[in-house]
Chain A
Amino acid sequence: MGESSVLWLRVAAGLYSVGLIDAIITVVRRREGLFRIALAAFGMGALFQLVSIVEQGLAQQQLPVNDIFQTMSFCAWIITVTFLGIYYRYKAASLSVFIFPLVFVMTLVGALRNPVSPWSNPVMRSTLLAVHVVATLLGYAALLFTAAAAVVYLFQERQLKRKQTSGFYRVLPPLGTLDDLISKSLGVGFGFITIGFVLGSIWAFVDMGTRWIGDSSIAIGFLTWGVYLSLVFFRVSAGWRGRKTAILSIVALACCVATWLAHAQLQKRLLQ
């Protein structure tokens, strides 16, 4: 990939990151965040990405989908254009909660194709890794609260439905409080886990070159982030509560545990 096409792609990823911030604000505050600004940034991002893709295509004299990085970038651009079309036609703003973070992450991955020179400063290497680990663990902790609150919500909801209003029911928090806790912990957790994921990807890219994308533990990380993103999306756009949220948050938590275990193995390999 040419230097300038990578630069355009990175500019596009930067613009898409506004969308990610908007998605997090929307989840935490349960109202539209920076949607207008994010949408404008998204449009501009699509433009820069198109320039990058065209440049790559001209350089290679073929459609630039030769590896996973290029495919990711191309796919992200198609999703962006489709979303803009859907938004223009249906004004379906709620989809942005899913699309903005997804496009940002896919574009970011696409922009990590060209290996860069290894760490010039070892402190930078360890700091970035530490921030990645802390942010990811904070994200897991928040998800744990989300899952716990979702299970209690389920129990309280069942008690209220069955009209059993004595005993254990009294010590459980009201559904409204649990719902608020779920929304906030989900939003904050998603923010942390995304930061952790982005920093982890960048770290792995600098440290391992392009090999990182093929690592199974990183693939599990992708999957976990995807499940988390789905949870956020269904929560915000479809208003998932009760059983559905409880199940999906437990699945997300299980994915987090799997990612954690996979990374423990990865750490061993890196240390060897």
Chain B
Amino acid sequence: MKLLLTGLSHKTAPVHLREKLAIAEGTLPQALQDLQRMGAAEAVVLSTCNRVEFLLSSPDHMEPGPIIDSFLDQWKGSVAPFDGHIYRLEAREAIQHMFRVAASLDSMVVGEPQILGQLKAAYAVAKAEGTVGGLLETVLTKAFNVAKRVRSETGIGQMAVSVSYAAVELARRIFGSLKGQTVLIVGSGKMGELAAKHLHRSGASKILVTNRTHARAEEMAKLFNGKAIEYTRFAQILHEVDIVIASSGAPHYILTREDMQRVIAQRKNRPMFLIDIAVPRNIDPGVNEIDGVFLYDVDDLEGVVNANIKERTKQAEQAEAIVVHEVDAMMQRLKLEQVTPTIISLQEQLEDIRAAEVTRTLRRLQGMTAEQQQRQIEAMMETMTKSIINKIAHGPISELRRNAGQPEGNQAIELIRKVFHLHS
């Protein structure tokens, strides 16, 4: 079986080319059927916003390259626009690429979890269409395992790489579970809304919103089944709040050190997480010096994200080593699968020889008395084993004779010597 992976990704092609090559979800079954009709033994198509890839297998006598060329000619008019952007990977390289994609090592944001789901969905469509079931099945199933191993053995997917997720990650470091935590959003900035959305999804049950324009606060509160608070009153309820997201357009500090000292005393030092994503800043930076108050502004959150990206890169190195190890194991397995039919037929042939000789010997023994059998048994065993050896050796000896004196004959002779462990 031959294996080919071809396509383009965010690393090799701009978005206008990726969208040109993309296969719409609705037409995916048809594309798979067409690839099979054109000669592919198996086919899987992965089409996402960051990559369009075709994974094909074809019988040994057929090259998979021309199959994909004719498919692209038929579906996309021509391959020409993609020249220089499209990659073609075969055998080991194709498998390695697939493993890397599944493990999110080839993603735009390394470690993001969506790609594995997208690959599983592509596999499910191919499975439903009956275009996967042999080599590709083995490769993809292994790719899913590799992705799982990478996730569990490295911390590649554990660190937030966006500012809003970084806020959630920090909130979890402070409160453990976000269940039952109260969040107050001050202002109506988009980033604040996004952070609140993530916190809400992560379990923060009570969302309060305040804004100079109360109608806007009510509007935003509806998004989270929350409650709008009068802007003039928000300082009075601060002690009930665990997380504050400040993103108002106020040109001065709306929370000072004195305010927070009072609030934290009211809270009996229970920790508070303040996220100031407003520019100019809404919260006095000195607030961070108060025990139990954790203040992060935009730069701090960016710093967390950058540290996480660095950490992910470190983890990715470990993940790459896992992928290489798994590819080696997979190649070994495939090689073994390649020689399996030969091993089976060799075993069958030797068994046929043995069975025929045993039958012949037993037939000869049948007409004899017990005394005759006793006398003849040694000679008959000798004859039977010699016959088995002669039949087994017949093939290699004939080959040796045929190759004697031939220009390429030495190779066959050496091989036979190696097979029969003939050292002298």
Task: Please report A residues at the B interface, Cβ cutoff 8 Å.
Answer: 156, 160-161, 163, 165-166, 169-170, 173-177, 179-180, 237-243
Contact = CB atoms under 8 A, between A and B. Distances in A.
A95 to B, nearest CB: 14
Nearest to B173: A174
B46 to A, nearest CB: 32
Given A161-B294, A166-B311, A170-B155, A241 B176 contact: no
6 contacts: A160-B173, A170-B158, A176-B177, A177-B176, A179-B271, A241-B271
B311 A176 contact: no
B294 A239 contact: no
Given A163-B303, A165-B304, A180 B292 contact: no
Interface string B296-326: 1000100110011011000000000000000
Given A165-B307, A166-B310, A242-B291, A160 B174 contact: yes
Contact of B176 (A161, A175, A240, A242): A175
A105 B304 CA distance: 51
A242 B176 CA distance: 16
B298 to A, nearest CB: 12
A243 B173 CA distance: 18
B292 A174 contact: no
B269 interface: yes
A169 B292 CA distance: 17
Contacts, number: 61
B179 to A, nearest CB: 10
B307 A160 contact: no
Contacts of B170: 160, 165
Interface in B107-132: none
Given A163-B296, A163-B304, A239-B268, 5 more contacts: A165-B303, A165-B307, A166-B307, A175-B173, A238-B268
Nearest to B273: A160
Contact of A175 (B169, B175, B311): B175
Residue from A166, A174, A176 having most chain B Cβ neighbours under 10 A: A176
A163 B300 contact: yes
B227 interface: no
B261 interface: no
Given A175-B174, A176-B176, A176-B177, A241 B311 contact: no
State the 3 A-B residue pairs at the shortest beta-carbon distance, nearest first: A239-B268, A176-B176, A239-B269
Contact of A243 (B169, B174, B291, B300): B291
A238 B288 CA distance: 20
Given A160-B170, A174-B172, A180-B176, A239 B267 contact: yes
B270 interface: yes
A161 B310 contact: no
B362 to A, nearest CB: 72
Contacts of B271: 175-176, 179, 241
Interface in B163-201: 169-170, 172-177
A241 B174 CA distance: 13
A250 B303 CA distance: 34
A240 B269 CA distance: 7
Interface in B240-281: 267-271
A177 B270 CA distance: 13
Nearest to A170: B155
Contacts of B174: 160, 174-176
A97 to B, nearest CB: 13
A169 B176 CA distance: 14
Nearest to A239: B268
A238 B294 contact: no
Given A160-B170, A175-B174, A241 B155 contact: no
A214 B74 CA distance: 102
A233 to B, nearest CB: 13
A268 B146 CA distance: 63
A168 to B, nearest CB: 12
Contacts of B288: 161
A174 B175 contact: yes
Contacts of B308: 165-166
Contacts of A180: 176
Nearest to B174: A175
A37 to B, nearest CB: 24
Contacts of B291: 241-243
A174 B311 CA distance: 19
A104 B308 CA distance: 53
B272 to A, nearest CB: 11
Contacts of B296: 163
A156 B308 CA distance: 17
Contacts of A161: 288, 294
Nearest to A243: B291
